[in-house]
Copies of this chain bind each other. A is one copy, B any other.
Amino acid sequence: MCIKCEIGLASLSLEYLFHPRSIAVAGVSGDSDSFNAGLRYLLIMAESGFKGSLHGVNPSGNEVAGFKIYASVRDVPGEVDYVISAIPARFTPQLMNDCVVKGVKAVQFFTAGFSEIEDAGGKKLEAELLSIARSNGIRIVGPNCLGLYCPETGLSFSPQFPRQSGDFAFMAQSGGNSVNCVCEASSRGIYFSKVISFGNAIDLNECDFLEYLADDPKTRVIGVYLEGARDGARFARILRETTKRKPVIVLKAGSTDAGVRAAASHTGSMAGCNDMWESMLRQAGAIRVHSIGEVVDVASVFLRMSFPKGRRALLIGPGGGASVIAADDCARAGLVLPLLPAASREKLKQLIGTETGGGFRNPIDLYRPDLLKQAVEAVGDWDEFDVLLAHLPFELYGLMPDATKDAIRSVFVQAVLSLNESLFKPHAVVLHASTADKSRQQAMELQAKLSQAGFAVFESIGRAASAMNKAIGYYEWRQRAMVGDNGRFL
């Protein structure tokens, strides 16, 4: 049974978690040079622009890296809204008791070593923490988690996280996957309203956080990494309501025997039956994905592209062989590549010529990116496609010297940027680079430029096509679900 149902708190009340006035971190020691998790929390939040007060706690007291350290949470002057525990598991009940005395509202346990380890003591400790929390109205985030990232208020748990806010929210049982998601997304121009790493979720769990994010006006799209559910039935119910308002992208891991075992070791989760999850997620209108990269792919479609009315794609970019593989990848991922009509093909032939081959049927095999805008305009009166995919394979133009290839890539970026102004269809860009150093470096540069300009940028045609197919599937589901409903669209 879920604590929230018992004590009837409204999900909106979780807003206070993201706006603490003062934070105390238990387990701060060492100096700036050595690694101490507690100290790192203080340093990272100070760097992230946290406006409230930050305090350190350690039985030995003193001062560390400019932060005054108190022997106990009870000794911290003034009110303490939020406590982060970075102390060994065996000391956590004492910390909880101190938090009760101090009137702390919520405690996040970075501390691991609870139900996820093969030791009866871990489960017992969790029960003890939960009991203290429930008797005293303190909420727990975790244990075994990295906690909260909210760029607006300066809450953070990684020095890599940007200070810029966005409208994507990610909630995850895994801290590492949260870090991965923020890094992947922000390098592609997607920023966050909130990220919640909630680990073993003994008190506040997936249901509470999803319900909160569903109502959060600063969140437009939600990503979820889940290993198991504490309250599956309630989660399904909340999910079904949430998806009517916002897309929810779910990476449910622990979906194979080996994964189930790994999930138990990681967050003590009962991962459950994959078939059951699959059908629950489908019925609830969630979008299921299988990697953090895919979470960001699908979020990019929602956040960076206008709504594609259907699955008919027009594919344009250099490379005969690359175009054949791209066409296969699109089709396999559920997109359709309609044949360009003869009149359009003739226009392209006039524009491009036949010296580099005859790819005018869709895909359009365009070796000269300086003609990209003209080529798109030449077929622009043809209305039988829903989305434009411009792609650039980096290992082409075999014969060309590096300088010429560099120039071609610059022209491609300029041409794509010019599309932004003239084209009414939703469009996306695929930069497919090999693992060769130069290729990767150039892809990173171009990705940065195009992401900053607002484009959805993908690493491969297959990933772009699959993300679009899933996003379109969600729009279709929602249209069906909304019949007779007053809910609003995005």
Contacts and interface: CB of A to CB of B under 8 A. Distances in A.
A396 B360 contact: no
A11 interface: no
Interface in A257-288: 257-259, 261-267
Interface of A: 35, 37, 40-41, 43-44, 88-89, 110, 112-113, 116-119, 122, 144, 146, 157-160, 172-180, 182-184, 186-188, 197, 225, 227, 251, 253-259, 261-267, 290-293, 318-332, 336-337, 339, 345, 349, 354-363, 365, 393, 395-402, 404, 434-441, 444, 447-448, 459-460, 462
A194 to B, nearest CB: 15
Given A118-B349, A290-B332, A440-B440, 10 more contacts: A40-B399, A116-B358, A183-B436, A227-B321, A256-B331, A261-B337, A261-B361, A263-B324, A266-B320, A435-B459
Contacts of A258: 327-328, 330-331, 336-337, 362-363
A24 B88 CA distance: 75
A249 B356 CA distance: 28
20 contacts: A89-B355, A122-B354, A160-B395, A176-B393, A176-B396, A176-B398, A177-B321, A177-B325, A179-B398, A183-B436, A183-B439, A186-B436, A256-B332, A261-B337, A262-B326, A266-B324, A266-B358, A266-B359, A290-B328, A290-B329
Contacts of A327: 254, 256, 258-259, 261-262
Given A118-B360, A258-B337, A399 B322 contact: no
A366 to B, nearest CB: 12
Contact of A262 (B146, B324, B439): B324
Contact of A398 (B43, B175, B293, B435): B175
A355 B116 CA distance: 11
A159 B402 CA distance: 8
